[in-house]
Amino acid sequence: MTAARQALDHSANVEAITHLKHALECLQELPPSQERDRREIDLQIMIAVPLAFVRGYAHKSVLSAYSRAQALCREYGETERLFKVVYGQFRSTMLGGEYEISKQNADRLVSLCEDLDSPLVLVSAERSHGALNTYLGHPLEALKHLDAGIAVNLSIEHRFVGLDYDVVDLAVALQGYRALSAWLSGDEATAIEAIKAALVHAEETSHPFSQSFAHAFLGWISQFRGDERSVQDSSATLIALSEEYSFQFWRGWARVMNGWARRNSDGEKSLEDIELGLREWRDTGCRLGLSFFLCLYADAAILHGRLELAEELLTEAEQFAQDSCENFWIVGLTCLRGRLAQAHGDDRAGLEHFKQAALLAVELGHYGPLLHVVREIAAQEVLTDDLTEVARAVSTATRASKAHALAAADTILKTVTTAMPEASSDKN
């Protein structure tokens, strides 16, 4: 145990796994007893963390460790240990894209909180619901949980204790998901503030996997905002950390992001890089964010005229979103359908998809993505009934929400719908 802890403290994850596997083997030689089983629970919880680092959150070895620990916890009524196990199972099922099972685990964490008087436990439960609601596409609900977790203001000591059973510093995770949900809800300023806070917190603990998490989420926020230079820089940092610490999960993620950011400069090689990263990422058992990553791949494929490939990728993304209820990127996915239709020369179908994307964004309260869609529509320079319908829907939404991105979308649409008739008459 001591050697394993020392290895983990130095982020020597492969070495830690070796020590912990040996400890578990030695434990099997002891006669059955409650003390022996409790020690095994602790070891299984402990080994799941570096296994997640090296092989991925949803890898079968991680799931197996938590399953064994859960069986032993149930036998002895170990509530505190059970919370750590269920939290690990929540994380693994969420990363595996099994959102319904993940929600069951998150709800169970809340129930277990009632028997455990601990700020660390409370924050872990809030983080679980915040993260889950982000991916399900409920940004305002996510922000309620994330803000509640941040308000606890965990001490640095609590955050280090949390790293005994979590893979990411809780303070970093809370701010990372706050950034994503804030951007989805149309509050770009808060998104930027949150991702900067995540990066600062990651440096406070000097925890490599947490630093990787912060740079990964910086990459996402940068991609959402169209800052390709920042996507390149953050993904390059992420690749370097992954190579140094054997983080297979982040390495695949980073290659996808880096390939997308270089789709203009590197030609079709960028497609090869994205495909390699996606394959490596899938090999970890993870599916979380799959609809988003497939969209990045499809976006690059459209740019390089690989329209059949783009069709396959978007079809897979749509099917995954439907089956898993992963909706955080559903607006972007629908919008990309429009761009693919236009690449095929069907401008009318493209506009219909853009309209659907905009109306869906209004319905879901995804005002960050809405602004991107409205810019796509405005760039068409065609006044249609579809554009008027979108303008009405956005204008109505502004009565209930003060989101900056929503107001910006409303302004663009009012400008376009006012100017278009003049442009049309000029052409005549």
Give the pLDDT confidence of 6-23 residue by residue, as tens digits: 666 666 778 878 888 888
Strand locations in 21-112, DSSP E? none
Q: Amino acid identity of 17? A: I
What confidence tier does 426 reach under pLDDT thresholds 50, 70, 90?
Answer: very low
Of 199, 221, 243, at which residue does a domain stop? 221
What confidence tier does 4 reach under pLDDT thresholds 50, 70, 90?
Answer: low
Closest alpha carbon to 174 in 186, 362, 158 = 158
Task: Answer whether 309's CB lies under 8 Å from 301's CB.
Answer: yes
Average pLDDT over residues 184-209: 97
Q: What is the pLDDT of residue 424?
A: 43
Q: What is the pLDDT of residue 396?
A: 96
Q: Are residues 139 and 214 in the same domain?
A: yes
Q: What is the pLDDT of residue 11?
A: 65
Residue with the larger pLDDT of the pair 420 and 89: 89
Give the rounded distance of the alpha carbon of 328 from its chain centre: 9
Average pLDDT over residues 373-392: 86
Q: What is the pLDDT of residue 18?
A: 84
Q: What is the pLDDT of residue 270?
A: 96
Number of separate domains in the chain: 4
Query: For residue 333, what are the contacts with CB-CB under 8 A and spacing of at least 6?
Result: 291, 295, 314, 317, 318, 321
Q: Are residues 301 and 337 in the same domain?
A: no
The C-alpha angle 91, 97, 103, rounded to 5 degrees, equals 55
Q: What is the pLDDT of residue 9?
A: 63
Q: Is residue 206 part of a domain?
A: yes
Structure tokens belonging to residue 192: 């930027």
Q: What is the pLDDT of residue 234?
A: 97
Q: Are residues 335 and 376 in the same domain?
A: yes
Q: Are residues 333 and 422 in the same domain?
A: yes
Residue 289 lies in domain = 229-309
Q: Are residues 10 and 37 in the same domain?
A: yes
Q: Is residue 315 part of a domain?
A: no
38-47, 111-120, 304-313: range with highest mean pLDDT: 304-313
Which pairs count as long-range contacts for 231-234, CB under 8 Å and 24+ apart, including other chains? 231/257, 231/258, 231/260, 231/261, 232/258, 232/261, 232/262
Q: What is the pLDDT of residue 422?
A: 46
Q: DSSP per residue over 190-235, as a string?
A: HHHHHHHHHHHHHHHHT-HHHHHHHHHHHHHHHHHHT-HHHHHHHH
Of 62, 95, 128, at which residue does a domain stop? 95
Of 176, 197, 221, at which residue does a domain stop? 221
Q: Is residue 41 part of a domain?
A: yes
Q: Are residues 17 and 37 in the same domain?
A: yes
Q: What is the pLDDT of residue 293?
A: 98
Q: Are residues 189 and 248 in the same domain?
A: no
Cβ density class 233-257: b for 16+ within 10 Å, e for less: bbbbbbbebbeebbbbbbbbbbbbb
State the chain's mean pLDDT as an integer. 91
Q: Are residues 21 and 85 in the same domain?
A: yes
Phi, psi dihedrals of residue 336, rounded to the nearest 5°: -65, -30
Query: For residue 89, what are the contacts with CB-CB under 8 A and spacing of at least 6?
Result: 63, 66, 70, 105
Q: What is the pLDDT of residue 297?
A: 98
CA separation for the pair 25, 257 (Å, rounded): 40
Q: Are residues 165 and 238 in the same domain?
A: no
Give the pLDDT confidence of 321-351 residue by residue, as tens digits: 999 999 999 999 999 999 999 999 999 999 9
Judge residue 384's burial from the number of C-beta atoms within 10 Å of its C-beta, 0-12 exposed, 13-18 middle, 19 or more buried: middle
Q: Are residues 340 and 389 in the same domain?
A: yes
What confidence tier does 267 reach under pLDDT thresholds 50, 70, 90?
Answer: very high
Q: Is residue 169 part of a domain?
A: yes
Q: Is residue 38 part of a domain?
A: yes
Report the range of poorest mean pLDDT among 9-13, 60-64, 290-294.
9-13
Q: What is the pLDDT of residue 428?
A: 37
Q: Are residues 301 and 335 in the same domain?
A: no
What confidence tier does 62 reach under pLDDT thresholds 50, 70, 90?
Answer: confident
Report the range of poorest mean pLDDT among 162-166, 270-274, 404-408.
162-166
Q: Are residues 197 and 258 in the same domain?
A: no
Residue with the larger pLDDT of the pair 82 and 220: 220
The count of residues in the chain is 428
Whether 65 shows a pLDDT value over 90: the answer reads no
Percent of the chain with pLDDT over 70: 95
Q: Is residue 216 part of a domain?
A: yes
Q: Is residue 322 part of a domain?
A: no
> What's the whole-model pTM score?
0.91
Q: Is residue 148 part of a domain?
A: yes
Q: What is the pLDDT of residue 1?
A: 60
Task: Answer whether 263's CB lies under 8 Å from 270's CB.
Answer: yes
